[in-house]
A and B are shown apart, each in its own frame.
Chain A
Amino acid sequence: MKDKLLVSGSPHIHKDESISRIMWAVVISLIPAGIAGVIIFGLDALWVTLIAIFAAVLTELTIQVITKKKITILDGSAVITGILLAYNLPPNVPLWLPVIGAVFSIAIGKQVFGGIGQNIFNPALVGRVFLMASWPKYMTTFVKPFSLDAVTAATPLAALREGKILEHISYLDLFLGKRGGCIGEVCILALLLGAAFLFLRGYITWHIPVTYILTTAVFMYIFGGTGLFHGDWLFQVLSGGLILGAFFMATDYVATPLTASGQLIFGLGCGLLTAVIRIWGGYPEGVSYAILMMNGATPFIDRYTKNRIYGTK
């Protein structure tokens, strides 16, 4: 187990890692999904993303200037919040929506708690849920992929909920992102590329993403179809924001448990909640709510999964 930390006497080797280095690596890992989003949905997606990033960084700067704190906009964390928020928005939203979402994410989701490392919820998801509760009209109107005149289309999950048959969407289409949805969640291939980069660099561990996706898949396989054990689990894994959420938002360092066993519980909880919301909840998609709820449970998980202190029983 990785977390059995062995601390020997000095001298120690200093590893050349820092918060800002990791944050910028996450930014790089998110770029492929953004490029895919722009290819699929056109330039609208690019403007939404850029404006969200800009608003997030500007809000962070403003608040830190007003409260006379150290200015940390260059560490990349505000950029990540902006990107993740934009990736959770439909590509054709009016441009003031990402601005308000980013301001809310940074101000209420992060700086109110004391800035980086202090937030109890994932800031980008706080912004998304705020927008979802405030302007559901814009947040649930999706456009068809590769259409120039913005034809609206339901996401696969929404269509499934309304009982429409989805035979014209193949698993390959879902994997490559040829479907309606949010900017950053559609192209699974690009997301997996970015996630693989983070894995190879050792910035995220397998615990949360794997248990999360596995739990959702198993639960949807058992309860998702007509009768038990007939659910289309692959469709459920590939649609919605599950991959984006599992790899990039449920692995947020700040708002997730510290120990490996805690992370397994976290992933399990996220998976169960996502599946429960998708099957019986009021919304077709539940990834953001599941992660936020488990963020709220993180202090308790941490409390009960403390590692044994060496030399004690």
Chain B
Amino acid sequence: MKNLIKEFTKGIIKENPTFVLVLGLCPTLAVSVTVANGIGMGIAATFVLLGSSLIISLVRDFIPDKVRIPCYIVIIATFVTVVELCMKAYSPVLDRALGIYVPLIVVNCIVLGRAEAFACKNNFSRSFFDGLGMGLGFTLALILISAIREFLGSGQILGISLIKGFEPIFVFGMPSGALLVIGLLLGFFNLLKNKKI
């Protein structure tokens, strides 16, 4: 049990997919304009990660080594399709905001990376908690980045204005602002990590 908790918590800080492994930057850069988008993307990716990790860890012994990547892609794509259709049905606004980045979860480095690096070597309960932790870490990172960007770029958080008379810094709503915020946060987390040791 203790082992499982460790698998779960490592994804949040110690091996955070965005700030430590630096995976899945494409959706991170693209959708972190508003907090709502960030949460939506995080939940979608977490669901895919959970499902694919679980299935891959269950069928890992039946997959021939040579064709394992296509098999992973098929499994991941199944879950992504589920997410996409659900999102289209129940939250069309979010679907329109995230656009192409929902189908692109299929080739998200985090999902594929966990399948290749973890789920294909571990049993299903450990894979489940690993996927959950990684997904949560990704969601939290997205919330942090998008909160900074939404606040600086439009003066709001979740659509609510915070400070009166604040002149939004447009650049943070643009892709260059995303690179800037992620770069500075990466530097900040590296600083924390180096100080601890």
Contacts of A108 in B (CB 8 A): 180
Question: Which residues of B have CB within 8 Å of A136?
Answer: 170
A133 engages B180 (CB within 8 Å): no
Asked if A133 and B167 make an inter-chain contact with CB atoms under 8 angstroms apart, the answer reads no
Q: Considering residues B167, B176, B180, which has the most beta carbons from chain A within 10 angstroms of its beta carbon?
A: B167
| B169 and A134 contact, CB distance less than 8 A | yes
Q: Does A206 have its Cβ within 8 Å of any Cβ on chain B?
A: no
Interface majority SS (helix, strand, loop, mixed), chain A: helix
Chain A residues 129 to 184 lying within 8 A of chain B, measured CB to CB, are 130, 133-136
Interface residues of B in 162-194 (CB under 8 A from A): 167, 169-172, 174, 176, 180, 187
CA distance A230 to B13 in the complex (A): 63
Q: Are B170 and A135 in contact (CB under 8 A)?
A: yes
A134 contacts B171, CB within 8 Å?
Answer: yes
User: What is the CA–CA distance of A112 and B190 in the complex, to the nearest angstrom?
Assistant: 14
Which residue of B has the minimal Cβ distance to A133? B171
A130-B170 in contact (CB<8A): no
Please list the residues of chain B having a beta carbon within 8 angstroms of any beta carbon in chain A.
167, 169-172, 174, 176, 180, 187
Task: Tell me the complex Cα distance, A136–B170, Å.
Answer: 9
Partner of A135, one of B167, B176, B180, B187: B167
Other-chain residue from A112, A133, A135 in contact with B174 (beta carbon distance below 8 A): A133
A51 CA to B187 CA in the complex, in Å? 29
**Alpha-carbon distance A8/B169, docked complex (angstroms):** 55
The residue of chain B having its C-beta at the shortest distance from the C-beta of A96 within the complex is: B167
Chain A residues in 8 Å Cβ range of B180: 108
> How many interface residues does A have (CB within 8 Å)?
7
In the complex, residue of chain B having the shortest beta-carbon distance to the beta carbon of A94: B167
Query: How far is the CB of A68 from the nearest CB of chain B, in Å?
Result: 13
Give 6 new A-B contacts, CB below 8 A, not counting A133-B170, A134-B172, A135-B167: A108-B180, A133-B171, A133-B174, A133-B176, A134-B170, A135-B170
Q: Which of B171, B174, B176 has the most CB of A within 10 A?
A: B171
Binary contact track A104-124/B, C-beta < 8 Å → 1, others 0: 000010001000000000000
* B171 neighbours in A (Cβ, 8 Å): 130, 133-134
- Residue of B with least CB distance to A136: B170
Give B153's nearest chain A residue, CB to CB: A134
For the complex, give the distance between the alpha carbons of A136 and B173 in Å: 14
Contact partners of B187 in chain A: CB under 8 A:
112
Which 10 residue pairs are nearest across A and B when measured between Cβ atoms?
A133-B171, A134-B169, A134-B171, A134-B170, A130-B171, A133-B170, A135-B167, A133-B174, A133-B176, A135-B170
Q: In the complex, what residue of chain B is closest to A97 when comparing beta carbons?
A: B167
Q: List 7 A-B contacts (CB under 8 A).
A: A133-B171, A133-B174, A134-B170, A134-B172, A135-B167, A135-B170, A136-B170
Chain B residue nearest to A132 in the complex (CB): B171
Please give the distance in Å from B39's CB to the nearest CB on chain A: 26
CA distance A135 to B172 in the complex (A): 11
In the complex, residue of chain A having the shortest beta-carbon distance to the beta carbon of B152: A134
Compute how far the CA of A112 lies from the CA of B185 in the bound complex, rounded to whole angstroms.
13
Chain B residues whose CB sits within 8 angstroms of the CB of A134 once the complex forms: 169-172
A212-252 vs B, CB cutoff 8 Å, 1 = contact: the mask equals 00000000000000000000000000000000000000000
- Bound complex: CA A135 to CA B171 (Å): 8
What 0/1 readout, one digit per residue, does chain A (76-108) give for beta carbons within 8 Å of chain B? 000000000000000000000000000000001
Q: Please, which residues of chain A bring their CB within 8 A of the CB of B170?
A: 133-136
Contacts of B169 in A (CB 8 A): 134-135
A126 to chain B, nearest CB (A): 11
Minimum CB distance partner of B167 in chain A = A135
> How far does the alpha carbon of A112 sit from the alpha carbon of B180 in the complex, in Å?
12
Q: Which residues of A contact B174 (CB under 8 A)?
A: 133
CB distance from B156 to the nearest CB of A (A): 16
Shortest CB-to-CB span from A93 to chain B, Å, is 12
Q: Report how far A134 CA is from B153 CA in the complex, Å.
A: 9
Question: Nearest Cβ in chain B — how far from A120, in angstroms?
Answer: 13
A112 to B, closest residue via Cβ: B187
Interchain nearest-CB distance for B145 vs A (Å): 17
Chain A residues lying within 8 Å of B172, measured Cβ to Cβ, are 134
Q: How far is the CB of B26 from chain A (nearest CB, A)?
A: 22
Measured between alpha carbons, how far is A130 from B171 in the docked complex, in Å?
A: 7
* Alpha-carbon distance A112/B188, docked complex (angstroms): 11
**Residues of A close to B176: CB separation below 8 A:** 133
B176 and chain A: residue at smallest CB distance = A133
Could you tell me the distance between the alpha carbons of A136 and B172 in the complex, rounded to whole angstroms? 14
In the assembled complex, the CB of B181 is this many whole angstroms from the nearest CB of chain A, namely: 11
Q: How far is the CA of A136 from the CA of B169 in the complex (A)?
A: 10
Q: How far is the CB of B119 from chain A (nearest CB, A)?
A: 38
Which residues in B have their C-beta under 8 angstroms from that of A130? 171
Q: Which residue on B lies nearest to A131, using beta carbons?
A: B171
B122 nearest CB across to chain A (Å): 39
